[in-house]
């Protein structure tokens, strides 16, 4: 396969858009952006295609000519889209990739049966509407057929990312880890805003006022590790303070549940004084 194979992206959503732009910047030709034959879907694909000097085509009409096809559709659609692409080209000698964190390359077995080499290639990064993070420095978990893995590793390296091998059987746990690192961290911050509201601080102001402490916490964690970054009433063993928090949080049950679950995890994984008493308070 050529050093820089041509690529077809299927799906112009959050990942597809960020990936398309980064691949183009890394010198890859994006042959086509494939979308469902619906007005809104095609418009999104057209807008991305324009940005990355490509063309938008609908799934039904897609005559794919590229050496690599990268499926950027929701996890639930990967196998279905793979099935639907079986007749779009001769797959022998081509590479098909998807980017699910939890699912393995076996989701693409319909294309593997037609002769394609397949792999899953998951960036450990968050992509949302309104932000397109650069992929430089991003770790990518990769598993699949040898040829597809080789091609994917080279593409990731060209993007400035860091490829690493993940075993098929570890993918679910790997993705649960990633979910803790970003989506559930965001859920924690959403709960945090509700607690700020109980203290009379609106969400927008809370976000702004929390920024310095959030930044410092992440910097401490990355630089010092979890144990040496842990401050607050649990490490000090301030049992009465924790009791008082639990009382006020009775007004916000989901936030109280999150507090108790995380405080219990802290008693297991982090330094704490008055561990036994705190354990009783948190029952």
Ligand X SMILES: NC(=O)c1ccc[n+]([C@@H]2O[C@H](COP(=O)([O-])OP(=O)(O)OC[C@H]3O[C@@H](n4cnc5c(N)ncnc54)[C@H](OP(=O)(O)O)[C@@H]3O)[C@@H](O)[C@H]2O)c1
Q: Which is nearer to ligand X, 138 or 235 (CB)?
A: 138
Pairing state between β 56-58 and 68-71:
unpaired
> What is the arrangement of strands in the sheet containing 162-165, beginning at the earlier edge strand?
56-58, 30-35, 7-10, 68-71, 95-98, 117-123, 139-144, 162-165
Q: Which is nearer to ligand X, 41 or 66 (CB)?
A: 41
Residue 123 as a binder of ligand X (CB under 6 A): the answer is yes
Q: Provide the minimum distance between the beta carbon of 126 and ligand X in the complex, in angstroms, as a whole number.
A: 4
Region of 75-83, 137-145, 163-171, 232-240 interacting with ligand X (CB under 6 A): 75-83
Residue 58 as a binder of ligand X (CB under 6 A): the answer is no
Residue 15 as a binder of ligand X (CB under 6 A): the answer is yes
Residue 25 as a binder of ligand X (CB under 6 A): the answer is no
Residue 110 as a binder of ligand X (CB under 6 A): the answer is no
Q: Provide the minimum distance between the beta carbon of 279 and ligand X in the complex, in angstroms, as a whole number.
A: 36
Residue 96 as a binder of ligand X (CB under 6 A): the answer is no
Binding mask 27-46 toward ligand X (x if CB under 6 A, else -) reads --------xx-x-xx--x--
User: Minimal CA–CA distance to 7: which of 159, 187, 233, 203?
Assistant: 159
Element (H, E) at 94: none
Identify whether the C-beta of residue 225 lies closer than 8 Å to the C-beta of residue 218: no
CA 262 to chain centre: 22
User: Minimal CA–CA distance to 277: which of 240, 231, 227?
Assistant: 240
Q: Which is nearer to ligand X, 80 or 275 (CB)?
A: 80
Q: Which is nearer to ligand X, 11 or 233 (CB)?
A: 11
Residue 9 as a binder of ligand X (CB under 6 A): the answer is no
Q: Rounded to an integer, what distance in angstroms lies between the CA atom of residue 121 and that of residue 159?
A: 13
User: Minimal CA–CA distance to 82: which of 102, 104, 52?
Assistant: 104
Residue 61 as a binder of ligand X (CB under 6 A): the answer is no
């Amino acid at each position: 396969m050529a050093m820089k194979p041509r690529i077809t992206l299927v799906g112009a959503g959050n990942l597809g858009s960020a990936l398309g732009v980064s691949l183009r910047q890394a010198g890859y030709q994006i042959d086509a952006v494939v979308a469902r034959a619906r007005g809104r879907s095609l418009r999104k694909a057209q807008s991305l295609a324009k940005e990355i000097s490509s063309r938008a085509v609908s799934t039904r009409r897609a005559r794919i000519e590229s050496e690599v096809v990268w499926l950027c559709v929701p996890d639930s659609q990967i196998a279905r889209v793979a099935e639907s692409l079986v007749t779009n080209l001769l797959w022998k000698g081509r590479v098909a990739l998807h980017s699910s964190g939890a699912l393995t390359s076996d989701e693409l077995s319909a294309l593997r049966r037609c002769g394609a080499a397949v792999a899953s290639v998951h960036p450990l990064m968050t992509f949302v509407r309104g932000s397109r993070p650069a992929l430089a420095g991003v770790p990518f978990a990769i598993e699949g057929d040898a040829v597809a893995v080789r091609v994917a590793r080279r593409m990731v390296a060209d993007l400035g990312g860091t490829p690493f091998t993940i075993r098929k059987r570890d993918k679910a746990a790997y993705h649960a880890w990633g979910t803790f690192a970003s989506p559930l961290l965001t859920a924690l911050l959403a709960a945090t805003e509700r607690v700020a509201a109980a203290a009379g601080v609106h969400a927008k102001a809370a976000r702004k006022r929390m920024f310095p402490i959030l930044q410092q916490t992440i910097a401490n964690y990355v630089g010092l590790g979890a144990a040496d970054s842990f401050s607050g009433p649990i490490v000090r063993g301030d049992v009465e303070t924790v009791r008082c928090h639990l009382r006020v949080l009775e007004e916000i049950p989901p936030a109280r549940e999150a507090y108790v679950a995380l405080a219990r995890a802290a008693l297991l994984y982090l330094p704490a004084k008055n561990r036994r008493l705190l354990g009783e308070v948190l029952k």
